Structure 1
Amino acid sequence: MSLLAPNRKPTTVHDLARRLGPGLITGAADDDPSGIATYSQAGAQFRFGLAWTLLLTTPLMIGIQMLSARIGWVTGEGLGANIAKVCPRWVTRTLVGLLVVANTINIAADIGAMAEAVRMVVGGHIVPWMLGFGALSIAGQVVFSYEKTVRILKWLTLALFSYVAVILSVHVPWKQAFTEALNPWAYFPPGVTRSDYAAMVVAVLGTTISPYLFFWQAAQEVEDNLRRPEAAALRAHPEYAAEHLSRIKQDTYVGMVFSNVIAVCIVIATAVTLNEHGVTSIQTSAQAAEALRPVAGEFAFVLFALGIVGTGLLAVPVLSGSAAYAVSEVLGWKSGLSHDFHEARGFYAIIIAATLIGTLGSTFELDPIKALVWSAIVNGVISVPIMVAMLWIGQSSRIMGALTISRRHRFFGWSATAVMAAAVGFMLLTSW
């Protein structure tokens, strides 16, 4: 087949799986243990009343993730390097610094949740499990090749189907769920303030539309380009560009829809099993799994717990990797999982440091839900200027050449940015 000719459309599951990659992994990584805790708290506290946020964010998430992937593929550079072209240096470094902080908090929460989930299922002391998961996450990126790492991450996305199985194992009042999801004020918990509601909305949005996902998907498109030396020369060819942009679109659609369907399943599962039985406060995803046991049975408990482990093993490398990509791109270091340790020492040093600090942080007795909510809020706040910069880049013919984003793509991108800005503004106003 000619390099200039579009690839044939996928006709089998195997063909489709080969076309899926950065978008699928990015979407699945969005449902990490910290995200599971946030969605579980939303379901336990507000029942079905916050499901609307996930319905709203699905098309917006698709639009912004397609933009990040497009920027990486077209420019051959990650988001950090591209944002530095349109923002002052201090702004870029501040945003990247906050991203690293939020990612490290997420890593600590995810490793702690994985260790607690394993301890609940098989027993043992929690600290060795924490250290083991931290070491495994580092080894997965430093020791294994890029191809093996991506292959493993793709297989780990299957862990998310455990939450579909949980939904199938419990009784769901679907009419009530749809009514409350489409009419958020149909149920408002007693004793909950507007500030509490706004903070949880921002937390859900912040954990769903997260900056680390932007950086990861863009960087993975750059990695794929580096593995195809002919890509830069052929990018200007209309057929080649159309084929690869179509692949990015398909990959992103599947990944983001998959991600938000799983998130809705988690909200519904916890609303049915926890809220309906008086459990309205969840501190961790592991606690959500434990709370399921007496209500939904051992099967649902084990599925929920195993899903935490699988998504954590998927998300921690994405969190540490996105931080490493962002820092390396801004500082001009060589970066990428396709390089070995000696070629990109700074890049791998960030991965190791973020994972080690997160692992050690998971051993401290911190209030996990506060850490998760603050991390999600930080993500929500910094996502707004990052998304604005991304849209400037996507519309810039100087940077994107002839492959600037379409008018429809601009609409969804700016809509996503407006939703995030409005949510953050509402939270700040109601917190006074």
Structure 2
Amino acid sequence: MDKSEPSRLRRFFSQLGPGLITGAADDDPSGIGTHSQVGAQFGYGLAWTFVLSFPLMVVIQEVAALIGRVTGAGIARNLRRHYPRPLLWGAVLLLLIANVVNLGADLGAMGAALSLLLGGSGAFYTLMFGVICVAVEVRLNYARYASLLKWTTLSLLSYFAVVMVAGVPWGRALTALVVPEIEWSAAYATAVVAILGTTISPYLFFWQAAQEIEEQHRHHAKPLCITPREAGPELRRIRLDTLVGMGFSTLVSLAIVYATAATLNANGITDITTSAQAAEALRPIAGPFAFALFALGIIGTGLLAVPVLAGSAAYAVTEMVGVAGSLDAKPMRARLFYLTIAATTMLGAALNFVGIDPAKALYWAAVVNGVLAAPLMAAMMLIVSNPRAMGRLTLSRRATVLGWVATGVMALATAVFFASLLP
């Protein structure tokens, strides 16, 4: 083997960070539940939607990363600087509501998964995971925390292992990627919207923009709008990082759909409402090994997604009010930032103790995300096209077209979702 090969691999992995973590966090326990339901209910029929959503994910997450790295400010701070305050307040309020509900669903799924594996109280485990996630975010400095999150993404490899033992008919599964199996029904339309809603989520926009700023500070660099000559290598790094992260996310989502289609759907089990229920349903069909891997994956990706959900809320709140907030700051120097992390996480955990149905909670989180996603994407497109914010590094014409197409598709999906609510 070429001696330069290890150094090339190290160089490649060193360029991965915000995009990889964001992509992996997209496959959170609530997303796993959605994809499990899609595979159980429709088999391989909706695999084509992941081919559609992948380029949309890439372009909008790249836009989020560019906002952070070029302007040196997050999305909320850019909204505060350049656009009316009601737009900022509305976006952050809806983000907080959606994130707390998602946190509740994710923590509840993690607690239920550990209860399936070890026995004991799922409610206790839910609270325990909430406390652990807050403690890790508060106690670790950014460099160690980012490294920990990057390693946590490996937990998602469990779903590739599950799909390998699930007996997937690969000819049919791969054909479904390019030949849609369309059903003209409200359930099918809602499932399409659910897939887009779990892959293009507002909290991921705020997170990736903020992480680019954290990386900029860690390397003692200036925003690219001030040093445009340094933009070339940085823009290439952002593109690679985002492509790999969103590609990884898409492959994991497909693996979950394929595994549940080959096991649950093939055996007539078509109604799955949570990721933990999907894991339990796998046990008698695919065996204890597949069940254990699926359940461990829920816990692993939850440990990744919960801090991202809480962190994105904290970045948005501190940017909205114009105070400093960073994972690299000491708690006493960024009180509002860490208070928001703790409050949103524990509020999410508390939802599991007040009798709220997690499936219904996720449904309404999807509604809030649907309300927020398309308008926020439009605002982001305005920011990256604004020379006052981006200097000479406004978005290229080709990327601008793709960004507005992604925004239009998300707006259409949201309209379909609300149309499906009508009697």
**Structure 1 length normalisation: TM-score?**
0.93
Task: Tell me the equivalent position of 2:219.
Answer: 228
Q: Of residues 2, 17, 42 in structure 1, which corresponds to 2:38?
A: 42
Task: Tell me the equivalent position of 2:210.
Answer: 219
Task: Tell me the equivalent position of 2:365.
Answer: 375
Q: Of residues 324, 343, 351 in structure 1, which corresponds to 2:333?
A: 343
Task: Tell me the equivalent position of 1:310.
Answer: 300
Greater displacement, 155-164 / 53-62: 53-62
Task: Tell me the equivalent position of 1:171.
Answer: 167
1:380 and 1:54, CA in 2 relative to 1: closer, same or farther beyond 3 A?
farther
Task: Tell me the equivalent position of 1:182.
Answer: 178
- Secondary structure at the residue paired with 2:103? helix
1:349 and 1:276, CA in 2 relative to 1: closer, same or farther beyond 3 A?
same
State the shift of 1:361 in Å. Answer: 1.1
State the shift of 1:230 in Å. Answer: 3.9
Q: Of residues 376, 380, 384 in structure 1, which corresponds to 2:374?
A: 384
Residue identity matched to 2:195: V
CA distance in 2, matches of 1:230, 1:96: 28
State the shift of 1:170 in Å. Answer: 1.5
Report if aligned partners of 1:164, 1:262 keep a CA contact under 8 Å in 2: yes
State the shift of 1:397 in Å. Answer: 1.1
CA distance in 1, matches of 2:248, 2:307: 19
Task: Tell me the equivalent position of 1:126.
Answer: 122
State the shift of 1:95 in Å. Answer: 1.4
* Structure 1 position 204 matched with structure 2 position 219: no
1:87-121, CA deviations, whole angstroms, 9 ceiling, x for partnerless residues? 32112111111111111111111111111111111
CA distance in 2, matches of 1:121, 1:114: 11
Greater displacement, 255-264 / 124-133: 124-133
* Structure 1 position 74 matched with structure 2 position 64: no
1:163-205, CA deviations, whole angstroms, 9 ceiling, x for partnerless residues? 000111121112222344434345x4xxxx8332222222211
1:83 and 1:270, CA in 2 relative to 1: closer, same or farther beyond 3 A?
same
CA distance in 2, matches of 1:257, 1:50: 17
* Structure 1 position 398 matched with structure 2 position 398: no
**Number of matched residues?**
419
CA distance in 2, matches of 1:37, 1:233: 39
**Structure 2 length normalisation: TM-score?**
0.95
Specify every segment of 5 or more residues in structure 2 that has no aligned partner in the other structure, as ranges: none
Q: Of residues 381, 398, 404 in structure 2, which corresponds to 1:414?
A: 404
Report if aligned partners of 2:60, 2:406 keep a CA contact under 8 Å in 1: yes
CA distance in 2, matches of 1:233, 1:395: 15
CA distance in 2, matches of 1:321, 1:10: 33
CA distance in 1, matches of 2:300, 2:388: 42
**Sequence identity percentage:** 50
State the shift of 1:233 in Å. Answer: 8.2
State the shift of 1:10 in Å. Answer: 9.2
State the shift of 1:57 in Å. Answer: 0.8
Residue identity matched to 1:279: I
Greater displacement, 97-106 / 172-181: 172-181
CA distance in 1, matches of 2:178, 2:361: 30
Greater displacement, 87-96 / 329-338: 87-96
1:8-28, CA deviations, whole angstroms, 9 ceiling, x for partnerless residues? 999532222221110000000
Task: Tell me the equivalent position of 1:361.
Answer: 351
CA distance in 1, matches of 2:417, 2:166: 34
> What is the alpha-carbon root mean square deviation over aligned residues?
1.8
Report if aligned partners of 2:101, 2:348 keep a CA contact under 8 Å in 1: yes
1:384 and 1:86, CA in 2 relative to 1: closer, same or farther beyond 3 A?
farther
1:225-269, CA deviations, whole angstroms, 9 ceiling, x for partnerless residues? 22233424895242x211111111111111000001100111111
State the shift of 1:333 in Å. Answer: 1.8
Report if aligned partners of 2:228, 2:393 keep a CA contact under 8 Å in 1: no
- Secondary structure at the residue paired with 2:333? coil
1:334 and 1:274, CA in 2 relative to 1: closer, same or farther beyond 3 A?
same
